[in-house]
Every structure is written in C-alpha cells, then in structure tokens.
Structure 1
C-alpha cells in the first residue's frame, strides 16, 4: 500500500512538472513575442527540440502510469495535456526537419541528442597577432594554400572567447575551409589609445584580416581567399568592419587598420541597429548613450552602412529571435538586396538567438552547409574583393 501511494505521488509530480514546463516551452515556441514565455519557448525549441519531444513522451508515459495505478481522472488530464505538448514539440521538429530537407541537409538526430555544446575541438595552433590578443587557427589537412574564414565571436561586446564555436570551426576545417577565430579587445583588456571599445574591436578584427593576408601565409592560409564571419555581436563587428574597409559613408576604422575587404561576409543573427542595445552596453561600447554619440553609433550599425560596394553577404537567423529582433535583420537583408549586394537570408524555424550553440541542434546542422557553400562560391567566383 505504501509503495502504491509513493508511486502515485512520484508519477504525479513528474507528470505535472513535465506538462507545466513543456506547456511553457510549446506555448512560447508558437507565440515567441510573449514576454518571458516566448523567449523560453523559442530558446528551447531552437537549441533542444528533440530533448523537449522526448520529455513530452516521458510525460505521456507518466500519465499512463497514473492511470494504471488507478488515478483515472488525474491521469487522464495529465495524458491529454502531455499529448498536446507532444504534438506541439513534434510540429517544431517536423518543421525544422522540412527546412533541412529543403536545404538538402539530412539531420543526424543522434547528434542532435548528444552534441549539446561546442567542446572537444582545440585549434591546431594559437598565435599572437597583437600584444595580448591571439588567434585560434583551425587548419584543413594537407598542404595549402587554404581558403579562410576569419571568425568573430559574440558576447555583447563585453565577454566571450574565440572557442565559442570550436567544434563548428573544426567541421569547417575538415571540409577544407581554414578558420581563424579572433580574440578581440574586451573591457578588461588594454584599451586602444584614442578609441572607444567599439572602434578598438573593429580595429582588432581588421588587423586579424591583415594577419591572415600576411604572416598567415606561412601557415598555409590563402591571402586572396578570405571571408569574414561572426555571430551576434561578432556578426555586427564583421559587418561594420567590412563596411569600413569598403569605404562606406559613415563607417570608420582607427588608424593602422585599413586594408582590402573580405571576399564575403557571414553574419549569424547580427545586431543591425546599435540604438537597440541596452543602455549599459551603449556605455561600454561608445562611452555613453547612442543619442550622444551619433557618429560612433552609425559607424557600428550595419543598418546605417548599406552600400552597393559591399561584398556578398550571407545572413543566418533564428526566425523567432527575440534578442536582436528578427524583423530588423529581415529588413536589413531586404535593404542589402535592394542595393544590389549579392547574398541571401537563411532562417531556422522556431529558433531564437544562438540556436547554433549546441553543435548538433537542427539549426546548426542546417546552417553549416549553407555557410560552407556560400564561402566556396565567393572564393571561386573571382569577384573583386573591393566589392566592385
């Protein structure tokens, strides 16, 4: 009798907790603009959709167990709710699988279940390119020269490391694309004299490009086959640095950072309007609010730097991104194409910011081949790196 009571209580707790948690996830996935719930739902559905579906199956099993233990009414309610959230999670998975098929990608579901971060892929070498700042270099096998993607990590301009997409970087290298991941200046690092943090970071990204085109040749890197990519704040830095190297009006770079622009730009969910960032970040990046630093804000905002001379630009976005406002990125993509800048926008359904942080997430598996194909196209096209 005691075991029966304990079993009922344990299954009841499991069932209720799972159903409530998954109801929040599913509700947020289908209503991503609802505060808090929308973020939680799209975050889980973007990064861990298979885990959510399996949790829903456990909820259904718990409900079946309650019914088997004689709790017909309570178990029936839990069963109905668990079935509804299971259907919701399967809709998310099915939609993402359909997006993968449309992109010619076959999802590895075992990888989705097990590869939940980016660990386990150290670089082939680490080199200092500026005093106190280094580059993590991932090299393809065999002799060079290898095409290169210079990668700029995210972290809201104030944190982050060059290892944030280490396993993805190794994947690109295994496909023949070298990756040079940049550690750029953060608030704790030595400042660049006479420059704000945002300007200093663009300086560092431009100098990393210069390293690839100079000393990088000794490591098998092709100086004439370089693209620039990044995610979140790093994507914004990649886009604004490229605009400055092209010479777009309102853009700027500190002295000593000039050079040819990359062949193309790859931007994962960038902030395209720096007026949208939190006041504390405005203070960190510009030394004050954007309203008092109009020139600096323009120079850092890709949306203000659209120019037909920009090189081809690939944008990657979680369709439900709450953090950087997916609608602004879609508008930026439209502005680029209207200006005649080649490229495209790839969107992952039901996904929020940093959907690709788990190496095995469906979104990560969808976008990696898209990035590789884009880079190969730019490298083989022979397009003038100046964007003309």
Structure 2
C-alpha cells in the first residue's frame, strides 16, 4: 500500500503540474496545449481532481513525507490556479449576462444527441440533418457547417447545440460537405486530386439553395444565417462573402463575375443574402494554416495562389457589405492565432460590419465541444442573443 500511495501521489502531482503550467503558460511546448484544452473544456473537473490530490498527498506523507508534501503543495497550487480560471470564465459569462450552470459543467461532458427531426439529401451525395422548432413556422434558419480541418469531421459535431437552438425558435440545417481522399495534401494516395476548398464552398452554397427552395411552413430564407466551428466557421464566413458578391453559387459563377467557372456559365441564381454569420474559433487567414492544409485547399502554398486566397480566406474579404458577424474564440487557442482573429474582428468593425468578438478566458480550440463547459454555455447564449438581434 505504501508503494502504491507513493506512485499514485507522484503521478497525480505530475499530471496536475502539467495542466497548471500549461494553463498559465500556454506558449510552453506540449504543456501549453494540454493545459489550455483541459481548462477550456473541463476546468471544474480539474479543480476537483486537485482537491483530491491534496488528500492523496496528505495520505502519502506518513510513509513518504517528501512525496506527500510535494503532491499536496502542487495540488494546492492547482486548486488556486483553477479557482482563478473559473473566476475569469465566470466573469466573462457575467459580462455577457450569462449565469453559468456549474452542475451542467460537471455532468455534461460531451455533445449529447440532439435527435434531428429528419435527414435529407440537399445535393447529389450530400446530406443535412434538419432540426425544427416545435411551433408554427416559417422559422429563421441556420446552416451549420462542421469542423474537422477541412479533411474530416461530421455534421453532428454540435448536435446538442443544434437542438438547443431549435428549442429557441431557430431551425438548423447541419450539413456535410465533400472531403479530400485520404492522403491528399501530404503526398499520399490522394496526390494529384484537385484542391478541395472551392468545392467545399459550393456544397455550402448548395445547402443555402436548398433552404431557399424549401420555403413555406418550415423555413424562412429571408432570415438565413451561416454558422460553423473551426474549418466550418471559415467556410461559413467565406461562403457568405461569395454569395454576397456573386462569385459563388451551387453552380460556379462565370469568370466574368470573378469566379472560376466557364466564361459562358450562367450567373448564380439570385436569392436573399445571409442575414448574419456565427463563427466559433475560425481560422480566418489561410496563409497561417499548415502547409499540407494549404495544399489540400489551394493546390499549393497560399503565396502561390492569390486568386483562390481571395475566394477562400476571410481575411481577404473584409468590406462594409458583409452581414453582422459574431466571432467566438478561446484566448489560448493553439490551432488558430488569437491575435489574428482579434485583428480580423477589428478590421470588420472598422469597415462598418456589425457584430462583435466574444473571448473565453484560458480556453483552447473547440472549447465548446463538451455541451456543459463554461465556454459552451457562454458561447451558445452569446449566439442566441446575436441571432435574436437580427430579427
């Protein structure tokens, strides 16, 4: 038992120390990533683990005084650190007028099934899950675009969030979109395949066309919003821009309109422009993403593809005509550059685009994956208030 307690105490204190250092020094290699992901998604659980660490240290100190006191000290420091994190996230929520449910933060660890009302094919080989409010329509509608670094992901990545929106009067169409074959972009079996970025935008545009075509008792295309997380957020932002300026539609626009389609292609079908965009932790500047992903999206380095960069990268598309845009970001995001997203938000507001940036302290990428996390609670409340303000 003595040896077991000593080993347990050492392992427990090492785990706590990794997260503690990473949470407050997110720039630290490896540790920063581990710490910010835990504090962004499960800060309350880490606080309880630290309290338990104090008890383990005290239990071990009789047989192994140095190990016991070391564990108890690290655990106490972690408790203090996590209280700081929880307080900062609580203040951020309070500033938004959101009261966090700590029981939910403790118990809802993933993304429970939102049980879509039906699944339909919105384009050949492409499906969407439709979440509908219970009351009479037509309902304002959100097209949700999943994340996955443009090479993976599933349309049910935020299924509980989608149902939550439907319960508050917003229909949600959560879509899939074409993905590159395995190995494309890294010299694998997909080498030689056409870059996928523009086709993914076309799929989102096809979903918009589907919503526009299904007006009536359920969906209101005049109150259509594009939204997504991570790569899906980038697609939502850039597709909105393409729909507004006429360079993008389900069938590609002609070159005369700035698109890449045949010169004799008909112009895109007109329709109501998106009323807004909700973007969770979006990579807004494709020049900053991994070179393999640039190859996947652009067919080469960003610097060598200025035309596609203008069409795919939100940072290249800032202008006053864009609709209201809500950005949500973790302050310690390791996948996107928080400073670049903050600068992008400033560029939007300087151009006269309504909206705002909401930042979750001590949170990394996909802080909203657990439905109960403080960041998820804050993010969805900010989103519904933004959407309500569009009516």
Q: Return the TM-score normalized by structure 1.
A: 0.90
Q: Does 1:198 align with 2:191?
A: no
Paired with 1:123 and 1:28, the residues of 2 have a C-alpha distance of 38
Deviations 1:243-288 (A, max 9, x none): 1122189975766755442000111111111111112111211222
Name the SS for the 1:45 alignment partner.
helix
Q: Which residue in the other structure is 2:384 paired with?
A: 372
Say yes or no: does 1:263 pair with 2:275. Answer: yes
1:110 is matched with which residue: 103, 112, 125?
103
Distance change (3 Å), C-alpha of 1:62 and 1:257: farther
Tell me: CA distance 1:59–1:247, structure 2 relative to 1, closer, same or farther (3 Å). Answer: same
The residue aligned with 1:10 is 4
Q: How does 1:116-195 map to 2 (within 5 A)?
A: 116-188=109-181
CA distance in 2, matches of 1:359, 1:137: 19
**Match 2:41 to one of 26, 43, 47:** 47
Q: Which has the higher helix share?
A: 1
| Residue deviations 1:308-357 (CA, integer Å, cap 9, x gap) | 00001000000111111101000000000000000000000000000000
Q: Give the Cα–Cα distance (whole angstroms) in 1 for the partners of residues 340 and 362 of structure 2.
A: 17
Output the CA distance in 2 between the equivalents of 1:74 and 1:18: 11
Distance 2:5 2:103 in 1: 28
User: Does the aligned pair in 1 maintain the 2:146–2:175 contact within 8 Å?
Assistant: yes
Q: 2:54 aligns to what? A: 60
Q: Deviations over 1:113-171 (max 9, x none)?
A: 22111132221111101111011111111221111111111111111111000011111
Q: Distance in 2 between matches of 1:102 and 1:221?
A: 33
Deviation at 1:292, TM superposition (A): 2.3
**1:66, 1:38 → 2: CA distance?**
29
Gaps of 5+ in 1: 1-5, 381-388
CA distance in 2, matches of 1:99, 1:11: 39
Note the C-alpha offset of 1:72.
3.4
Q: CA deviation at 1:71?
A: 3.6
Q: Does 1:360 align with 2:358?
A: no
SS of 1:213's equivalent in the other structure is: helix
Is residue 25 of structure 1 aligned with residue 25 of structure 2? no
Please, which of 231, 234, 237 is the counterpart of residue 232 of structure 2? 234
* Structure 2 residue 363 is the aligned partner of structure 1 residue 329: no
- 2:185 maps to none
Aligned residues: 368
Q: 1:330 to 1:129 in 2, by over 3 A?
A: same
Report SS of the residue matched to 1:148.
strand
Does residue 281 (structure 1) correspond to residue 281 (structure 2)? The answer is no
Greater mean alpha carbon deviation, residues 108-117 or residues 335-344: 108-117
The 2-side partners of 1:364 and 1:151 are apart by 16
How far apart, CA to CA, are the structure 2 residues paired with 1:260 and 1:197? 26
| Structure 1 residues 207-246: aligned runs within 5 Å | 207-215=206-214, 217-218=215-216, 220-246=218-244
Contact 2:9 2:67 in 1 (8 A): no
Please say which of residues 332-341 and 283-292 is displaced more in the overlay: 283-292
Give the direction of change, closer, same or farther, for the CA distance of 1:359–1:257 in structure 2 (3 Å limit).
Answer: farther
State the distance in 2 between where 1:75 and 1:26 align: 18
Distance in 2 separating the partners of 1:79 and 1:360: 29
Divergent runs of 4+, >6 A: 248-251
Please give the root-mean-square deviation of Cα atoms over the aligned residues, in Å: 2.1
Please give the alpha-carbon distance, in whole angstroms, between the structure 2 residues aligned to 1:316 and 1:97: 16
CA displacement, residues 188-236 of structure 1 (integer Å, 9 cap, x when unaligned): 49x9xx9741111111111111111112x25611121111111110111
> For structure 2, which runs of at least 5 residues remain unmatched after alignment?
183-189, 248-256
CA distance in 2, matches of 1:365, 1:108: 8
- The answer to whether the 8 Å contact 1:46/1:351 transfers is yes
